Amino acid sequence: MNAVGSAEGKMVGPPLWLLAELTYRCPLHCVFCSNPLDYARHGNELSTAEWRRVLSEGRAMGAVQLGLSGGEPLLRDDLEEIVAHAHGLGFYVNLITSGIGLTESRARALKEAGLDHIQLSFQDSTRELNDFLSSTRSFDLKAKVAGIIKGLGYPMVLNCVMHRYNLPHVGRIIAMAEAMGADFLELANTQYYGWAWLNREALMPTREDLVHAEAIVDDHRARLAGRMKILWVSPDYQDARPKACMNGWGAVFLLVAPDGAALPCHSARVLPGLDIPFVQDRSLSEIWYESSTFNLYRGSAWLSDTCRSCDQHTHDFGGCRCQAYLITGAADATDPVCPKSPDRPLVDSLIARAGGSSSIVAQPLKFVPNLARQLALVYRTDANSRERCDAEDRAHG
């Protein structure tokens, strides 16, 4: 514990989980990407030396788990050097990747550098939908990479973001993971931030979709007990239960973005008025313990009366600030997914709008020219990000 306290006088512990977003560059164009819509503004990337310093400072503070993500972290030519440095510091090092660019020789080099764990993402169990959702021909490459990961003895961890288009395939996705010899499968229902927020009406499933899919997951989980662990990340919109976002703001999680911005969560850039600290200007310790950004929603002093009077606030920590802002326009509002929130009707309205284009969902492998346009899907591309930046600039004069 550090001598610096939170707003209510409690001691602040160290960041145990450090996420290094090494780059926003990515070969995929996923419609549910969590990267900021205006990532084109943040093209500068920390140097190798700067990343080494950040990791050293984080480990000295007590961080033990390191995630390397992006964008696509394999696009960094210095990835092996970063991994070796992190391993030498004593981190458990996890690579979060699309797999694009992971050859057998590079996977071997990363293992020799000390990489502990690779989490490989798929968009679906079928080539057609996988490639449609990422707007790239990537399925066959991902399948090959899965074999490389397994062959080199890494823990086999697969991840698939779930939404209305691939929920009907959840049984097939589990079967694919089983056939690939996965040790863990994370079925992460879409969190509506970044590009997923922009595409929310197209991606949002119905409650019936989710109930049906979860029942299938439960059946397979029982069947595969002891062989493959399946993690189902519940959708808080439909569950009407605030998630313990990052286990509390500024409690255990610290993200460093490609340009050096230090953030309490993946989407904090969206919040207006944050005085975002940068690792080029301040030490990681000073940022974590003393910056206004990390102390803003730390602890419980900031909670609304609705949250503070609820016996769940020590478990959900008031829910998600970015979600509260995106839906209500107020970052300090009660998380609107909560039934006690006066803004819960806004969430119910979003869910009620789910279910359009049902004929396409019923036949998710049948794609037609200009389907993305028909579904009003916006892909995560550099051009689309620049367009968002230009629109924001025009709006602000």
Q: Which residues are annotated as a binding site for [4Fe-4S] cluster?
A: 26, 30, 33
β-partners of residue 186 are 159, 231
Give 32's contacts (C-beta < 8 A, 6+ positions apart): 133, 161, 163, 190, 195, 196, 199, 203
Q: Tokens 């998600």, residue?
A: 320
Instruction: Give the CA distances from residue 68 to residues 6, 30, 74, in Å, rounded to whole numbers and listed in that order.
Output: 28, 19, 9
CB 340 within 8 A of CB 334: yes
Q: Using an 8 Å Cβ cutoff, are 362 and 16 in contact?
A: no
Q: List residues forming the annotated binding site.
A: 26, 30, 33
Strands 253-256 and 17-21: parallel
DSSP type of residue 182: -
Q: Are 274 and 296 in contact (CB under 8 A)?
A: yes
Side-chain half-sphere CA neighbours of 367 within 13 A: 17
Concatenate the DSSP letters of all residues of 26-78 into one string: -S---TT--S-TTGGGG-----HHHHHHHHHHHHHHT--EEEEESS-GGG-TT
Encoding tokens for residue 83? 């991994």
What is the DSSP track for 341-373? STTHHHHHHHHHTTT-SHHHHHSTT---TTHHH
> Distance (Å, rounded) from C-alpha 194 to C-alpha 40?
13
Tokens of 356: 């359009």
Listed residue (141, 116, 117) closest to 28, CA to CA: 141
Q: How far apart are CA 375 and CA 168, in angstroms?
A: 17
- In total, the chain counts a number of residues equal to 397
Token code pair at residue 207: 């409650």
